[in-house]
Amino acid sequence: MNGAAAPAYAQPKRLRFGEGTRSPARSLSLTLVFWLCGSLLLGFILLPLLRLTASQSAASLQRVAAMEDVRLAIRLSLEGAFLTALLAALFGVPLAYLLARGRFPGRALVAAVVDLPLAVPHTVAGIALLFVLGRDGIIGAPAAALFGIKFWGTLAGIVAAMLFVSIPYTVNAARIGFEAVDPRLEMTARTLGLGPWQVLRRITLPLAWRSIATGLTLTYARAISEFGAVVVLVYYPMSAPVKIYELFLRFGLDDAAAMSVLLLAIALGLFILLRLLAFGRVAPPGPGR
């Protein structure tokens, strides 16, 4: 039978993806259940924020926004979060690359240390930072004596507290992005004559950019909202969350709620803007492992 066509029974039927593996009813029920769970979660997130926003009138928002100390506190939080994101990019992205590409003793321990701030209560983080960056701290004292850099009562202390609690977001997101880049692409580029820095700049970083941008955006957003570590390490000048707490203690719920709505609106607008800058154009999926 050489050269003859194979009998019909020997030719397997080609199925389309998903055909014969699930029923439409099962797919619909799965989708409905998942939408129900997701809707409950979205409601849990949105309901308190919408109720907070609805409780404020335009007059109360304008009155609180006219306070000079409120504007200074919000600006301080925005500046501190921006500097935190820059430092996270400068130090966190290289560490993420080492965790994604390196094979060294203690790699799992390093990854666990990176995640540790997520498990530490933020007031505890502030107390721990005091022992290092405070007036008598092992870094704070010599930094003030030799270079005039103080971490108490300054923007530097606010940024240090913000960076401590938010750096895991940058490192973990960037590590996932680097791991998704096929190492064969990098090796091929090296065989074509590109050096390691050129490969990093022209191949690795562009392919991992979206994950890195996600991590930096989350770091920025988390830094704006930080309260516990900042209030212990610095307290004054007041960042926006600390000022909201001070308004609550001094004047009650109304002023604190109004400033909360202002901060929420500004932070939400910046968060959306950053995500649009990073993901505004949909790129074709890149190669991954």
User: How many whole angstroms separate alpha carbon 274 and alpha carbon 220?
Assistant: 9
Task: Delineate the domains of the chain, giving CATH numbers in brackets.
Answer: 65-279 (1.10.3720.10)
User: How many whole angstroms separate alpha carbon 43 and alpha carbon 49?
Assistant: 10
Q: How far is CA 240 from CA 54, 84, 104, 169, in A?
A: 21, 15, 41, 21
What does DSSP assign to residue 17? T
Whose CA is closest to 278, among 85, 83, 100? 85
Q: How many residues does the chain have?
A: 289
This model's pTM is above 0.95: no
Per-residue pLDDT of the chain (289 residues; tens, 9 = 90+): 444 544 444 454 554 544 445 555 557 888 889 999 999 999 998 998 898 888 888 888 888 888 899 999 999 999 999 999 999 999 999 999 999 988 888 889 999 999 999 999 999 999 999 999 988 889 988 988 888 888 888 999 999 999 999 999 999 999 999 999 888 888 888 888 888 888 888 888 999 999 999 999 999 989 998 998 999 999 888 999 999 999 999 888 888 899 999 998 888 888 888 778 767 655 444 444 3
Give CA torsion, residues 152, 156, 157, 160, to 10 deg: -160
Q: How far is CA 3 from CA 6, 10, in A?
A: 9, 15
The number of angstroms, rounded, from the C-alpha of 288 to the middle of its chain's C-alpha atoms is 22
146-178 core/surface letters (b: 16 or more CB in 10 A; e: else): eeeeebbeeebbbbbbbbbbbbbbbbbbbbbbb
